[in-house]
Amino acid sequence: MAPAAIAAAAFPFRLFSAEARRDGRSARGKRSSARPLKYAPPPRPPSSSSAGGGVAATTFTRLPLRDAPESAEVTLDRFPTAPANPETPAPAPARGNNGVQRLDDEEEFEVGLGPTSFAQIPLRESPDGVELTIGQFEARAAARKGAGGRGFARQMVEHLHGDGDEEEELVVNSRDVFEVKKGRKARALVPEVLDDDDDVVVFDPDYGVDSDDDEEEFDMFPIKQSHEAGAAPRTELGELEYDEEEDEVVVFHPDYDDDEEEDDFEDDDYDEEEDAEEGDGEAKEKGVPAVMRCFDTAKIFAKAGDGGNGAVAFRREKYVPYGGPSGGDVYVQVDGEMNSLLPFRKSVHFRAGRGAHGSGQQQAGAKGEDVVVKVPPGTVVRSSDGGVELLELMKPGQRALLLPGGRGGRGNAAFKSGTNKVPRIAEKGEKGPEMWLDLELKLVADVGIVGAPNAGKSTLLSVISAAKPTIANYPFTTLLPNLGVVSLDFDATMVVADLPGLLEGAHRGYGLGYEFLRHSERCSVLVHVVDGSAQQPDYEFEAVRLELELFSPSLVDKPYVVVYNKMDLPEASERWNIFREKLQAQGIEPYCISAINRQGTQDVIHAAYKLLKKERQRIKETEEWSETENLNHVSDAIKKERRAPMNEFEIFHDKGTKTWTVVGGGIERFVQMTNWQYSDSLKRFQHALEACGVNRTLIKRGVKEGDTVIIGEMEMVWNDEPKSNRPSNTMNTKDDAVRWPEFG
């Protein structure tokens, strides 16, 4: 229903641009702390002569939807084209230039982006022509070895919202899309250590930038996008100023590997390999492999699915509730196979599906699809907004319901009353909560290298991984644990920690051992290095074992490998047999190595990995039947907040703009779920404002004719109509009872 028609009803408010607010504002307007909505930048003329470089047409896209009939056919328009590239022969023919492409259900289409790239848009779901979810959209540069161009664009195209005849817009969700305010410089947050192969990670500039936060080593740089001759557009640090109001900038990974799939990232050793491949010595110099260097923290966005809208049924079918189902939930789950936050570099947004809308034909649509964010053991989850610690997830298999999906809106059947048998009212689905999250991986090495000081622990780590810890011929060289990623095979990796040397009495706090012991409690397997050149290697071995036991019996219960080191030294090799026999007598089969000469180290790695695999399996099995604690407190708190009574609100008055803002969880939720399409909604809204005291409070506080009143996404103009013109609520409330939403 048009806003004008609504406004005509007797009501103290003139509804003011409800439609505009609903569409525009909800997406772009008031940015609450957890609302980093991202849209594609506004359309630009398709660049037919993009030789000039600058912000190229290839760097953004906007896809207004022309029509979405029931057949789920979508027309996409205004695909920008890639710059003409005279130097490099196009590997594929141009596939359309600002072309209109059609997309049929279940089909993948290639939409023209120009000679060097294409987009794949698999259509996922098109329930009733009202909302469409379109799958991943990837624009890729065809691989051109030697030309310096790698894949350059990668975006997720997701929910397509629209209510019937309104103009629909495709929401392009890319983690690299962010907004800039008019006249403001685009800002990007990039890690301080910016290697050539680092991705430029761009966050929403409006969101949660806490410049005082010393812990996050981020610096802010402006962003410039440019072309290199003959190469795909690259993101570079520079300056870029947008003029349009709330423009957005899309920044692509400069170095995106176009063979990788967004959600299918398993090669944990990715960076290290790449470093090696490209001969990037820098990562090694920093002492920690790239995997650990950059990716022990991550920032992600999670949104639970919106509830489906309820529908109004006019026909006299029997008992069709027409309520919408609820939106999908967001879970966080510990995946024992993961050992870094690296995958979140490629995958930042986690959105649960929205509930299908109720409709005349289908009784109850499908609940929105849940989404599970998989994190490695040892992940601490904080809200980016305020840094509150929400979860500490240590054990594989742990699963927390983080964001509950929005409740489905009720259909008109739910509003039937004695006087109104076929009410023209239905609720909209409740919006799913959303938030940005900071993830931090606490040190959880799979394997801990333990041993007496100077035994050669750091040396061992340095030869089995890319880590370059300090090595020196004196005790307590290592002050903090060093981490290295050891890869045995393409899909077999483990994180190994070289821990500070352990001294007799460590369990009582001597030396540096205590800190290390705390860390080693989280390791699954221990590698115990014994200095073969020590006076009495077997005594040293026993002493260290004792320290472990005194600190925590769980440490000696961990599977371990004993490694006799420095076999290249004569005094060590001479005593090897004695040592070996002593241990064999205890049922232990030690390994001998010369770490410095890299002899025997592979056997140690394989032995440790074998134990690790067994241990992972064991943990997995025990997790399956062990009781899991309640980790759903975040979701519980959200649910509780949603149940806030409608009469708990505050009103803020801005004299300058003559604006009254009503703030309250219950009333805002009510507004959000009100579907203005239906005529009875207005009446119900009116009742609500009367009954919960908003009108009364406004009058008491002196609201004037023409003042603006804002509740949630709704903006209205106060209209001082004489009371008699309005239906008398006071008389009617009892029999024509207001039906409050059943929260929770």
Nearer to Mg ion, 58 or 478 (CB): 478
Stretch that binds ligand GTP, among 85-93, 272-280, 455-463, 623-631 (CB under 6 A): 455-463
CA-atom Rg of the chain in angstroms? 31
Tell me what percent of the chain is helix, strand and coil, each rounded to the nearest 5.
25, 25, 55
Tell which one of 12, 323, 501, 511 touches ligand GTP (CB under 6 A): 501
> Judged by CB under 6 A, which of 50, 58, 326, 594 binds ligand GTP?
594
CB 79 within 8 A of CB 101: yes
Which residue of 471, 485, 592, 710 would you call a contact of ligand GTP, by CB under 6 A?
471
515 binds Mg ion (CB under 5 A): no
Name which of 458 and 565 has its Cβ closer to Mg ion: 458
* Interaction between residue 454 and ligand GTP (CB under 6 A): yes
Q: How far apart are CA 397 and CA 304, in angstroms?
A: 21
- Out of ligand GTP, Mg ion, none, what residue 197 binds, judged by CB under 5 to 8 A for its kind, is none
Tokens of 86: 């005279």
Whole-angstrom distance, CA of residue 189 vs CA of residue 36? 15
Which tokens hold the place of 666? Answer: 């219950």
Between CA 244 and CA 285 the distance in angstroms is 44
The sign of the torsion formed by the CA atoms of 449, 451, 452, 456 equals negative
Scanning 110-118, 284-292, 365-373, 472-480 for contacts with ligand GTP by CB under 6 A, the matching segment is 472-480
Amino acid identity, residue 373?
V
Q: Smallest distance, Å, CB 458 to ligand GTP?
A: 3
Which residues have a Cβ under 8 Å from the Cβ of 655 and sit 6 or more positions away? none
Residues in Cβ contact with 229 at an 8 Å cutoff, skipping those fewer than 6 apart: 87
Assess contact for 554 and 587: CB atoms under 8 A.
no
DSSP string, 324-339: PPPPPPEEEEE-TT--
61 binds, among ligand GTP, Mg ion, none (CB under 5 to 8 A by kind): none
475: contact with ligand GTP by CB under 6 A: yes
Tell me whether residue 451 or residue 484 sits nearer to ligand GTP (CB atom).
451
Our CB check for ligand GTP shows the closer of 359 and 458 to be: 458
- Among 455, 479, 484, CA closest to 467: 484
Query: Which tokens hold the place of 494?
Result: 């483990």
Minimum CB distance to ligand GTP smaller for 292 or for 352: 292
In the numeric block, which tokens belong to residue 161? 């919202």
Residue 372 site contact among Mg ion, ligand GTP, none (CB < 5 to 8 Å, cut-off depends on kind): none
Query: At its nearest, how many Å lie between ligand GTP and the CB of residue 496?
Result: 13
Token pair for residue 59? Answer: 């760097």
Q: Which is nearer to ligand GTP, 87 or 285 (CB)?
A: 285
Residue 458 interacting with ligand GTP (CB under 6 A): yes
Report if residue 326 touches ligand GTP, rule: CB under 6 A.
no
For ligand GTP, which residue of 455, 485, 534, 612 counts as binding (CB under 6 A)?
Answer: 455
Nearest approach, Cβ of 463 to ligand GTP (angstroms)?
Answer: 9
Spatial CB neighbours of 258, under 8 Å, sequence gap ≥ 6: 140, 141, 143, 150, 151, 154
**Shorter beta-carbon distance to ligand GTP: residue 309 or 459:** 459
CA–CA gap between residue 574 and residue 567 (Å, rounded) = 9
- As given in the structure block, the two tokens for residue 98 are 């600002």
475's contact among ligand GTP, Mg ion, none, with CB below 5 to 8 A by partner kind, is: ligand GTP
Q: Angle at CA 59, nearest 5°, toward 57 and 63?
A: 75
457 is an interface residue for ligand GTP by CB under 6 A: yes
595, interface contact from Mg ion, ligand GTP, none, CB < 5-8 Å by kind: ligand GTP
- Comparison of 304 and 497: residue with beta carbon closer to Mg ion: 497
Q: What is the DSSP string of 36-103?
A: ----PPPP----S-GGG-SS-GGG----EE----TT--EEE-----PPP-SSSPPSS----SS--EEE
Q: Which is nearer to Mg ion, 477 or 708 (CB)?
A: 477
CA distances from 325 to 309, 430, 659 (A): 8, 10, 36
Binding mask 472-501 for Mg ion (x = CB under 5 A): -----xx-----------------------
Q: Lay out the site mask for ligand GTP across 544-583 (x = CB under 6 A, - = otherwise).
A: ---------------------xx-xx--------------
Shortest Å, Cβ 504 to ligand GTP: 14
Please list every residue from 117 through 136 that binds ligand GTP, using CB under 6 A. Answer: none
Task: Pick between residue 143 and residue 479 the one whose CB is nearest to Mg ion.
Answer: 479
Q: How far apart are CA 39 and CA 580, in angstroms?
A: 66
Task: Compute how many residues bind ligand GTP; rule: CB under 6 A.
Answer: 24
- Give the one residue of 339, 459, 487, 681 binding ligand GTP; rule: CB under 6 A: 459
CB of 556 to ligand GTP, least distance (A): 20
Rounded least distance, CB 534 to ligand GTP, Å: 11
Q: How far is the CB of 477 from Mg ion (least distance, A)?
A: 5
Strand 133-134 vs strand 136-141: parallel, antiparallel, or unpaired? Answer: unpaired
- Residues of 640-656 as b/e, b for ≥16 C-beta within 10 angstroms? eebebebeebebeeeee
Which stretch, 7-15, 183-191, 305-313, 457-465, contacts ligand GTP (CB under 6 A)? 457-465
Question: Residue 458 interacts with Mg ion (CB under 5 A)?
Answer: yes
- CB of 494 within 8 A of CB of 608? yes
Which DSSP string do the residues of 172-189 spell out, in sequence order? EE-TTEEEE-TTPBPEEE
Residue closest to ligand GTP (Cβ)? 501
Stretch that binds Mg ion, among 114-122, 380-388, 469-477, 589-597 (CB under 5 A): 469-477
Residues in the chain: 744
**Chain contacts with ligand GTP (rule: CB under 6 A):** 451, 453-459, 471-473, 475-478, 500-501, 565-566, 568-569, 594-596
**Chain contacts with Mg ion (rule: CB under 5 A):** 458, 477-478
